[in-house]
Chain A
């Protein structure tokens, strides 16, 4: 049994009297000690999908399918059970650490808050645990006395990771944890996250639009487009040999330095992702696809296993309708 399983999960938002499908039938799993990268553009549904694990989606959202953490369906849980699960079993490292920390509270107090709420420990034990957590992410324990403005961006992001670890969860969801950090600090934060997955045997879902970051950090990558998984497979394979044209465009967006094909030739993907309330027919990617053929606009492709990947594209592998 996997640690986290999404089984045919769909999320629909109700907006101005219309149903907006944000996530459409996603099946995915993450094991303990494994990291899964979830890639895609803004608005593709990656954050919506992962927010369902802690039932953080807005009230207007309708969720169907099953989301199982250690075999228990989160959608069947009572509110009290969900609250007990947050922090203690699964936690989130949010994007934008600078805005997520309280500017007028010391780092240590912010870190000990979930510990005191979720486990019956004394303030003194909680403080000791805070010191351990800070050291785990490569900060000296005495930084507990610092206020957020006394830390740099990378240090604040590491505090956010320490906070996510505070109650010893089995699953960590990291939502763009290194966006807005520069390369050296990003490397430090990524190394911390990678180390934690292996040492603490936790499962991680790592959300990013940067396939190069995911390929260097994760074991597997799943690429989302318009609410669906369109390709998944081992991380290096998806980055080096993407099969879906969209995954190819994402992988090509970050040049291999030294590769002359990218010199004076930045590659992007024209057009914008479709509005979830008005999706194109057939393959939702066909209007932007450089290799689309006629039947792409009429036939919706499904994920099909092909070599080490699963790809949802009519032109890849054996799916010929």
Chain B
């Protein structure tokens, strides 16, 4: 059995299979009350390399959680493929069970994720029992707890969630994911319900898990500061599509897409840039606008700049191609000279 100590994978070059990859994924839900079909994820390519931290950023309702659930095998895509180490994900229940040992989910609210009547030990050991790993249970739980920063682990075995602080609870949830020695962790808003002082501690823990164990991490968040803190790459999602992706430094220092620029301008600590507050919320995925799906809210269209540049017809009428999942910083926007030639 390999232990974490001997795994130290460098980030994979693009030619190698990614830890987890989405290829042209579409996920649809039936609309309520005879409404149209909702295309929650509407054609997404996304790649998570070995030992890489990718932040998937977007507003509530943009489809980022649905995409994450699809990568975990919790939703089946209507079109497209999820690739795990280059192999298509097998949806037979036996294969899914094995898959879920390798890819673990950490949720936003640790208080809701933990059973209030289970001790820390039971919460962490539950995954082991489900997967029939009954040997050395005590040691495995202790190892996972100390990896998650709860030391000495024995002191926490018999504690109940209500006896722990918010940060400690999130550490227990992370320990529950680590106990199965996964390759990939998908974290959905891992710090948004935590106190400011705890936030940095949990982010430092996630970063350490990548550095020490070679874990790959997909963080779903609306928090661009979090991306700046820990992510290698950022993918910005709007209404079911990735609209901009690239290395964190480039994307956050010089965002190309007007949507990313707007998101960045409203981060409170960016007080010195002029705010672009978009009215309303992301439109309904049952009625995706024609052309660039962002055009009804786009400040470049609203200001008349798009018309001046002669791209307005494209913005409102011509569908943009998908962005490549890796490589150089790119945006799906007609302001970009390369947008027409994207494949």
Give me the interface of A with B, judged by CB distance under 8 Å.
41-42, 152-154, 180, 182-188, 190-191, 209-213, 215-217, 236, 239, 249-250, 252-258, 262-270, 272
Contact = CB atoms under 8 A, between A and B. Distances in A.
Contact of B225 (A154, A186, A255): A255
A239 B196 CA distance: 13
Contact of B60 (A153, A236, A239): A153
Which residue among A184, A212, A215, A253 has the maximum number of chain B CB atoms within 10 Å of its CB? A184
Contact of A272 (B165, B225, B268, B270): B165
10 contacts: A41-B196, A184-B262, A184-B277, A185-B59, A185-B281, A190-B268, A263-B229, A265-B229, A268-B197, A272-B165
B37 interface: no
Contacts of A254: 196, 225, 268-269
Interface residues of B, number: 45
B324 to A, nearest CB: 24
Interface in B283-303: none
B271 interface: yes
A268 B266 contact: no
A249, A257, A269 pick with most chain B CB within 10 angstroms: A257
B182 interface: no
Residue in B168, B192, B204, B252 whose Cβ sees the most chain A Cβ within 10 Å: B204
B150 to A, nearest CB: 13
B199 A268 contact: yes
Interface string B166-179: 11100000000000
Contacts of A272: 165, 167-168
B203 interface: yes
A154 B61 CA distance: 12
A286 B224 CA distance: 32
A257 B59 contact: no
Interface of B: 59-61, 165-168, 192-193, 195-204, 207, 222-225, 228-230, 248-249, 252-253, 262-264, 266-271, 275, 277-279, 281
Given A152-B61, A217-B268, 11 more contacts: A152-B60, A183-B266, A209-B195, A216-B271, A253-B196, A257-B252, A257-B264, A263-B229, A268-B198, A268-B203, A272-B167
Contacts of B275: 187, 191
A6 B279 CA distance: 38
Nearest to B227: A257
A98 to B, nearest CB: 12
Nearest to B53: A264
Given A182-B60, A183-B267, A266 B203 contact: yes
Nearest to B149: A270
Nearest to B271: A216
Nearest to B202: A268
A249 to B, nearest CB: 6
Nearest to A190: B268
A251 to B, nearest CB: 9
